[in-house]
Structure 1
Amino acid sequence: MSIASVVELGAAPANSFTGIADRIDRRLGAVIEAIAAALVLVEIVVLFAGVVARYAFHAPLVWSDELASIFFLWLSMLGAVVALRRGEHMRMTAVVGKVSPSARRMLEALAIAASLAFLALVLWPAYEYAADEAFIVTPALEISNAWRAAAIPVGVALMIVFGALRLLRFSSAREIAVTLGVVALVVAAFWLARPLFAPLGKLNLVVFFLVIVAVNVFSGVPIAFSFALATFGYLALTTSTPMVVMVGRMDEGMSHLIMLAVPLFIFLGALIEMTGMAKAMIQFLASLLGHVRGGLSYVLVGAMYLVSGISGSKIADMAAIAPVLFPEMKKRGAKPGDLVALLSATGAQTETIPPSIVLITIGSVTGVSIAALFTGGMVPALVLGLCLCSVVWWRYRKEDLSAVARYSRAQIGRFFIVALPAVALPFVIRAAVVEGVATATEVSTIGIVYSALAGLLLYRQFDWRRLKPMLVETASLSGAIMFIVGCATAMAWGLTQSGFSTDLARWMAAIPGGSYGFLAISILAFIVLGCVLEGIPAIVLFGPLLFPIAQAAGVHPVHYAMVVIFAMGIGLFAPPIGVGYYGACAVAKVDPNEGMKYIGGYMLALLVGLVLVAAVPWFSTGFLAK
């Protein structure tokens, strides 16, 4: 899933407001985090109650989806507030991390100031949007829709507060003055230059959606705010569109009920690690293959395949697996660089394992069946996994296994029995969707209840003290993801209204080679996008534009989804630009330089696998219902 890459700010420089800002931040932050954590818990209860009422008692709760939708927008906005407070909004720090400490501090302050600029500009339109929604009455609960829409102006206002507090806590008075002055001058310059943009026509798309986005992203401004600033500037300076429309598009992007699966699967990923289910799966696989040359590397590939079918976060997947496997692998002589390279490659390989958040996002923004995407994602990931295993076989074909213990069949059987409830979880989730017990959104609650009961009754491992931090972390990561989705939706709408989608469709349709030519150019484009953007914003931004073109070119939408997801995954986890690689290094506690000389072979294997998946549509569509 998505990687949040943050540069540590270090000790805060002295300014006269630092102490006051720290106290306000702690007290107000604790309140907001508690509310956000409670909202995650409420969503789980409401959706699971809906499943039980409908399936067990045949008495559907007609209001459950509506109530969940209201709470979801509040969760998204308050989660975005928590993410801003904790510095966890997704961002590109490849450039920021290479400059001198003083320049880095200035860029960090500039990133916060730029985010504050957008929030200040959009606050009044957000209030207007919520006021307009007051006239709409919800169908089931029959309450004003302003109760839901008010989440946007409240969230924006709170982000302004915490953004200002963060600036005061981590920046000197000089850095604050310089960065706020620079941002104010840039905003004023663009406003005064408004008459110059009208004659540019579609060149404005290059100015705002390429140049401004690139400058912001590489300067360390969070991706969501980079999108938002470019979209606000484009609409305000080159069109007559009221800014309340942009807020409406953001709301639209964050309000797809299917996206409620994002926080729930993120929490489920944390829960299986906390209850020991992930450890039980890995122990069984290690006992089964540990005596084979490169066996634990095969276990790593297989464990990521299984765990990625449950968790919503690649970092959560890696954090569950690396601490269990890596110590034993190092004892057997594996190089840390090789381990982190394989861990990073498996992150890209398992992007299509259901219930992947990227798959859910594609389904929500393109209209492709979530169930079809879940079915189509299993075999392509297996193809790429076999390609990775071929590299493992070659590298470990001469491994010395003389000192490796071999487990008996009885011992392997015991490990299997212990791991069986954990291994069964992905199949329980899939069966619940296929049999109609729950929707793709609701099924995560079944997984959560299943995992909690397994942890309490079977594994006897359930740390209640970790529950609140897990809920807060879920809210923060969900808020960061959903705010990106909202801003990217607004940006995609702006691109569509400009006529860009028509031009893109005409250009893509003219590519020679038919469907395979289209797939080839898509692979190249999405590898590049994956290096620069996270998978979710790239999908939200380009999915609605490219999927209809793919279908017109004769490419099945499920097949196309698998190709673009793998292409983005390769870009995301390939150094030196892909931020996913650095996330893997952080989890494994390995210097990124150590993995550079090993990762090339794995990336080549992934590319071979991607070409196979693109060339043979059956891998993606062979098991779909006819």
Structure 2
Amino acid sequence: MLMLAVLSAILFALMFLAVPIGVALGVASVAIVLIWDMPGFVLAQKMVNGIDSFPLLAVPFFILAASIMNSGGITTRIVDLLASLLGRQRGSSGVVNVGTNVFLAGISGSSVADASATGALLIPEMRKEGYSGGFAAALTAGAALIGPILPPSIPLVIYGVIAQVSITKLFIGGYIPALIIALALGLYVSSYARRHDLPRRGRQSWSVIGRQFRASVWALSMPLLIVIGARGGIFTVTEIGAVLVVYAVFVGWVIHREFRWRGVPTLLLDAGLQTSNIIIVVATSSFVAYLTVVHGVPKDLMAWLTAAELSPVAFLLIVNVVLLIAGMFLDSTPATIIIVPIFLPSAMALGIDPVHFGLVVVVNLMIGLIHPPMGLNILITQSIAKVPMAEVVKESLPILAIMISVLLLITFVPELVLWLPRLMGL
């Protein structure tokens, strides 16, 4: 246990100095190897084993597909369609923000990417309509949490690899929780707009809406492509990522004619850099997870649970508390890789379905993106809105309460996660 304590101290010291999480984990791991005179090949072996996974190949494809669709003008068409449909509603740009994040969730699988994309598009629009900068930033940060819960989801892929669980089941299981979050945020925004008497824009004519719908139908069909491909066994998760890239190129180049081949090197470089960041974190986190297992942390936890005679619900509440605290300091990828091997054996011993457990883990860790000190989503949207961080944090508190309420709902009602995969015969 001393080794784990030293590793944690080094890791948090480096994170306090704003060292990137992947580098911090790597330096902490090397320090442990040197201090305890461990064979160097153990570190290398565990890092390589951590990324030696076919499903992880889906990650660069998801990232690249999102970049191509944004550059091909698909996102702006969805925004225009939603704005036209919702124009008669007070403060319609806020609900458009939530709807756009639901759509983007079916492309990128990354909350941070969605927060950046929708923030740049919609925060200025929301401010013009009368929303405060803090509220616009907080809503965008919160709505972007839907991304990693709906497929394709990078955090669910990583969890599936670690837990050896069907990623397709995880993807399908995320639909109902994500839609509950979207509905709750939409109702909250509508209530805010009424309380502050925000203006109505006026809905466009049916001819304009029809034209915008025809322009958006290719993008709107993407979630259907994912579900049919996964449910029908036509594609594996990795193949779905590759299909999305081809589909994005086809729509952007052939249908909308906005995709430019000269921009491909930049898109590939950006996707490569984002993927390398994730893979470095996965590799270094795998060594830390190995240390926790070798030192018997999962076994000690299971012994404590047996002695305490906890119910599955009580166990999940403890996991929620641990993960909410972990999300304050760790990104979702290292937190998943380090914590899941500790708690998953006990969860399965208590009869908790690993798909249900996976969604609880992912929703938990996403909440960490909208509260300090990590709060990466609110850092991004605050920089776009150019307002004091205190204002964004204050406005994010009701959104944080909504997310925790949904987390508790899926914790106590597993069928919200398991019913749809079961209905589809998965």
Residues 354 and 374, structure 1, Cα contact 8 Å, conserved in 2: yes
Identify the residue that residue 16 of structure 2 maps to in structure 1: 218
Does residue 405 (structure 1) correspond to residue 202 (structure 2)? The answer is yes
Q: Which moved more, 1:583-592 or 1:440-449?
A: 583-592
Residues 277 and 419, structure 1, Cα contact 8 Å, conserved in 2: yes
Q: Deviations over 1:261-280 (max 9, x none)?
A: 11111111111100011111
For residue 587 of structure 1, report the CA deviation from its aligned partner: 4.4
Residues 228 and 491, structure 1, Cα contact 8 Å, conserved in 2: no
Residues 173 and 355, structure 2, Cα contact 8 Å, conserved in 1: yes
2: distance between equivalents of 1:499 and 1:355?
A: 34
Counterpart of 2:5 (choices 195, 201, 206) is: 206
**Higher Rg of the two aligned structures:** 1
Does residue 467 (structure 1) correspond to residue 254 (structure 2)? The answer is no
- SS of the equivalent of 2:421 reads coil
For residue 399 of structure 1, report the CA deviation from its aligned partner: 5.0
1: distance between equivalents of 2:241 and 2:275?
A: 15
Residues 315 and 584, structure 1, Cα contact 8 Å, conserved in 2: no
2: distance between equivalents of 1:307 and 1:541?
A: 28
Q: CA 1:233–1:287 in 2, change beyond 3 Å: closer, same or farther?
A: same
Counterpart of 1:610 (choices 402, 407, 411) is: 407
Identify the residue that residue 455 of structure 1 maps to in structure 2: 252
For residue 309 of structure 1, report the CA deviation from its aligned partner: 1.6
Q: Which runs of 5+ in 2 are unaligned?
A: none
Residues 58 and 242, structure 2, Cα contact 8 Å, conserved in 1: no
For residue 509 of structure 1, report the CA deviation from its aligned partner: 4.6
Q: Which moved more, 1:392-401 or 1:336-345?
A: 392-401
1: distance between equivalents of 2:146 and 2:259?
A: 30
For residue 335 of structure 1, report the CA deviation from its aligned partner: 1.2
Aligned length: 423
Which residues in structure 2 correspond to 1:547-558 (within 5 Å)? Answer: 547-558=344-355
Identify the residue that residue 298 of structure 2 maps to in structure 1: 501
2: distance between equivalents of 1:204 and 1:545?
A: 16
Residues 528 and 568, structure 1, Cα contact 8 Å, conserved in 2: no
2: distance between equivalents of 1:532 and 1:402?
A: 40
Residues 298 and 341, structure 2, Cα contact 8 Å, conserved in 1: no
Identify the residue that residue 237 of structure 1 maps to in structure 2: 35
Amino acid at match of 1:437: I
- SS of the equivalent of 1:368 reads coil
Q: CA 1:288–1:368 in 2, change beyond 3 Å: closer, same or farther?
A: same
Residues 269 and 313, structure 1, Cα contact 8 Å, conserved in 2: no
Which residues in structure 2 correspond to 1:219-298 (within 5 Å)? Answer: 219-238=17-36, 241-298=38-95
Amino acid at match of 2:15: V
Q: CA 1:522–1:331 in 2, change beyond 3 Å: closer, same or farther?
A: same
1: distance between equivalents of 2:199 and 2:109?
A: 39
Identify the residue that residue 120 of structure 2 maps to in structure 1: 323
2: distance between equivalents of 1:403 and 1:264?
A: 39
Amino acid at match of 2:96: V
- SS of the equivalent of 2:102 reads helix
For residue 220 of structure 1, report the CA deviation from its aligned partner: 2.1
Identify the residue that residue 185 of structure 2 maps to in structure 1: 388
Amino acid at match of 2:190: W
2: distance between equivalents of 1:592 and 1:467?
A: 36
Identify the residue that residue 424 of structure 1 maps to in structure 2: 221
For residue 285 of structure 1, report the CA deviation from its aligned partner: 1.2
Q: CA 1:424–1:590 in 2, change beyond 3 Å: closer, same or farther?
A: farther
2: distance between equivalents of 1:397 and 1:403?
A: 10
Does residue 435 (structure 1) correspond to residue 232 (structure 2)? The answer is yes
1: distance between equivalents of 2:120 and 2:369?
A: 22
Residues 109 and 148, structure 2, Cα contact 8 Å, conserved in 1: no
Which residues in structure 2 correspond to 1:577-592 (within 5 Å)? Answer: 577-592=374-389
2: distance between equivalents of 1:470 and 1:585?
A: 25
Identify the residue that residue 341 of structure 1 maps to in structure 2: 138
Amino acid at match of 1:406: R
Identify the residue that residue 362 of structure 1 maps to in structure 2: 159
- SS of the equivalent of 2:366 reads helix
Amino acid at match of 1:302: G
Residues 79 and 96, structure 2, Cα contact 8 Å, conserved in 1: yes
Q: Deviations over 1:26-47 (max 9, x none)?
A: xxxxxxxxxxxxxxxxxxxxxx
For residue 408 of structure 1, report the CA deviation from its aligned partner: 2.2
Normalised to the residue count of structure 1, the TM-score between the two structures is 0.65
- SS of the equivalent of 1:622 reads helix
Q: CA 1:410–1:439 in 2, change beyond 3 Å: closer, same or farther?
A: same
- SS of the equivalent of 1:624 reads helix
- SS of the equivalent of 2:221 reads helix
For residue 341 of structure 1, report the CA deviation from its aligned partner: 0.4
Q: CA 1:329–1:581 in 2, change beyond 3 Å: closer, same or farther?
A: closer
Q: CA 1:574–1:509 in 2, change beyond 3 Å: closer, same or farther?
A: farther
Counterpart of 1:519 (choices 301, 305, 316) is: 316
For residue 391 of structure 1, report the CA deviation from its aligned partner: 1.9
Q: CA 1:258–1:402 in 2, change beyond 3 Å: closer, same or farther?
A: closer
Residues 261 and 440, structure 1, Cα contact 8 Å, conserved in 2: yes
For residue 537 of structure 1, report the CA deviation from its aligned partner: 1.0
Residues 376 and 621, structure 1, Cα contact 8 Å, conserved in 2: yes
Does residue 304 (structure 1) correspond to residue 101 (structure 2)? The answer is yes
2: distance between equivalents of 1:584 and 1:548?
A: 37
Amino acid at match of 1:312: G
Q: CA 1:470–1:203 in 2, change beyond 3 Å: closer, same or farther?
A: same
Q: CA 1:351–1:512 in 2, change beyond 3 Å: closer, same or farther?
A: farther
Normalised to the residue count of structure 2, the TM-score between the two structures is 0.94
For residue 203 of structure 1, report the CA deviation from its aligned partner: 2.5
Q: Deviations over 1:549-582 (max 9, x none)?
A: 1111222111111111111111222135423320
- SS of the equivalent of 2:109 reads coil
Q: CA 1:225–1:372 in 2, change beyond 3 Å: closer, same or farther?
A: same
Identify the residue that residue 368 of structure 2 maps to in structure 1: 571
More contact order relative to length (CA 8 Å, sep ≥ 6): 2
Q: Deviations over 1:142-168 (max 9, x none)?
A: xxxxxxxxxxxxxxxxxxxxxxxxxxx
Identify the residue that residue 27 of structure 1 maps to in structure 2: none
Which residues in structure 2 correspond to 1:146-225 (within 5 Å)? Answer: 202-208=1-7, 210-225=8-23
1: distance between equivalents of 2:224 and 2:31?
A: 47
Residues 138 and 396, structure 2, Cα contact 8 Å, conserved in 1: yes
Identify the residue that residue 594 of structure 1 maps to in structure 2: 391
Q: CA 1:505–1:370 in 2, change beyond 3 Å: closer, same or farther?
A: same
For residue 604 of structure 1, report the CA deviation from its aligned partner: 1.0
Q: Deviations over 1:322-341 (max 9, x none)?
A: 33333332222111111100
For residue 440 of structure 1, report the CA deviation from its aligned partner: 0.3
For residue 526 of structure 1, report the CA deviation from its aligned partner: 0.8
- SS of the equivalent of 2:391 reads helix
1: distance between equivalents of 2:279 and 2:107?
A: 20
Which residues in structure 2 correspond to 1:61-140 (within 5 Å)? Answer: none
